[in-house]
Structure 1
Amino acid sequence: MVVTDNVNFDTFRDCLFSAIVENPTGGGRKGSKRASVGRKGATVQQQATTEANPSELADFSDYLAAEIFASFPGELQELSYHALQDDAALGEKWSLPLTLSVFEDVSAHIPGDITDSLTAYGLIEPPRSDVQSFIAPVLSAYVGAATTPPPKWIETKTNACEICERDWVPMTYHHLIPRAVHTRVMKRGWHEEHQLNSVAWLCRACHSFVHRMASNEELAREWYTVEKICEREDVQKWAQWVQRVRWKKT
């Protein structure tokens, strides 16, 4: 039986959707070109994505997510930060980075029909890539999202994504000044210390888009507020497209 009423299902579906959008083949869309990712402006991949039919992409992602999530063991479906804290064995198995044996075990239980679908849509290209190579980053993103401890910025959480304004998908928090460059930011005096922990609440798809559009340093120097990010033409086009992505009611 497909498990779609689990609170973690929406999180997994969002991670899977992002992986399909980010895939260089464009999810099997005819005529799409492989992207050479630049640091500024929309990439070829992003342009191809915004030309895709959001309804069809949503239906395809929904189908894949439901079938794959249903193949997960119960402990993976019910994963949470507190579950890892309360069970040492569970914590050892599902803490990031995940081991190769975990990827192999999860992949082995994914239905063969899903492998066929991923191949047909160009998301995997045997023998160069397989279902395991496709699901590994999706699984890592899902586990990371499901087991992230409650942030201290929880009081700032919004009900809708601050870019696309969708309120029916899970929210993630984006460090407007990426933590990886905090030392450089302070050394060069780009921002005051109290600004370092500023966050925006974004859906997984918009969160991934922001990190594709610019490097961490560029985000820190130029795109350190939601308002500045939303001024970009490529972000506006992306938001208009992703707003049309809706999941079917189950």
Structure 2
Amino acid sequence: MTTPDSENYQIFRDCVSSAIVAKSSQPTQSKKARRPRTQRQKTSSTSTTQRANPDPTPQDDFTRTDPEDLADFIDFIANETFPSLPPHIQTLQYTPTIDITTPEYTPKHLSERTAHILDPSIPDTLTAYGLIDTPGDIPSFLAPILSEYVNSVTKPPPVWANTRASACEICERDWIPLSYHHLIPKSVHAKVLKKGWHEEWRLDSVAWLCRACHSFVHRMASNEELAREWFTVERIWEREDVRNWAAWVGRVRWKAR
């Protein structure tokens, strides 16, 4: 039987956290009805409007959410959902022979099976908080979480495991599961070498990040931009939005049980 202290539960909770934090940090823009204006009026007021109402940045939204309340909410969702996973999924781990492409491990199958036995309070709560539109959307909410969870617990140890950090290299939380981020994304390795952006030895450089920070990095820039501009942790830290994010997400902490 798994417990809240099990490594698999902690990884699952981190996957839930990544999904909810990402949704909580999405910019929201309200639309207001306006009277039609002439072309001249539109042109003359454009610069004034842009200065008065700049586009919201990610930190404009995520800082409105109290980190402690968010941590409690994430813990509640994860703690109530994990026992509804099939028992063999709760204890899943890497073995050389495992094949997660079979139907029993697909996100669609797992999310629908879990949703079928999940306590109705969970989809109702997610709906009330605006994370899903209706309780019937719970499978689509769970699918990416379960996909990330299954991939994480069945992933073989990386060849660069000896570089593993003791804490997330962005938010510095040292008690949360870490994943490795390819500082030069693998999908652009061929282009990197062709363009001469980096030498080949640098291609396998990684940073150890929590899932929330890992997702944030991939939202902040495209793979090509990461490869050309943000290929070290130090460079990533130069960005003000990253420092603001780290200060906020670093306060999302689970309470001791």
TM-score norm. by structure 1 comes to 0.86
SS at the partner of 2:102? helix
* Corresponding residue of 1:19: 19
**1:85-100 paired onto structure 2 within 5 Å:** 85-86=96-97, 92-93=102-103, 98=106, 100=108
Question: Against the structure 1 CA distance between its residues 202 and 120, is the aligned structure 2 distance closer, same or farther, given a 3 Å change threshold?
Answer: same
Q: Deviations over 1:116-170 (max 9, x none)?
A: 110100011028x610010111111111111111000000001101111110100
SS at the partner of 1:51? coil
User: Aligned residues, how many?
Assistant: 233
1:103 to 101, 111, 121: 111
Q: Deviations over 1:51-90 (max 9, x none)?
A: 31000000000000000001112111111112xx3566x7
* Corresponding residue of 1:39: none
**1:185-196 paired onto structure 2 within 5 Å:** 185-196=192-203
Give yes or no for contact 1:3–1:70 (8 Å, CA) kept in 2: no
Give yes or no for contact 1:6–1:77 (8 Å, CA) kept in 2: no
* Corresponding residue of 1:198: 205
**1:1-250 paired onto structure 2 within 5 Å:** 3-23=3-23, 26=24, 33=28, 44-82=57-95, 85-86=96-97, 92-93=102-103, 98=106, 100-126=108-134, 130-250=137-257
Give yes or no for contact 2:107–2:143 (8 Å, CA) kept in 1: no
TM-score norm. by structure 2 comes to 0.84
The aligned amino acid for 2:8 is N
Q: Percent identity, please.
A: 53
CA distance in 2, matches of 1:134, 1:91: 20
Moved over 2 A (4+): 42-47, 85-88, 90-95, 99-103
Cα distance, 1:2 vs structure 2: 8.2
For structure 2, the residue ranges without an aligned partner over 5 or more in a row are: 31-54
Give yes or no for contact 1:186–1:192 (8 Å, CA) kept in 2: yes
CA distance in 1, matches of 2:82, 2:124: 17
CA distance in 1, matches of 2:87, 2:134: 29
Give the CA RMSD over aligned residues: 2.3
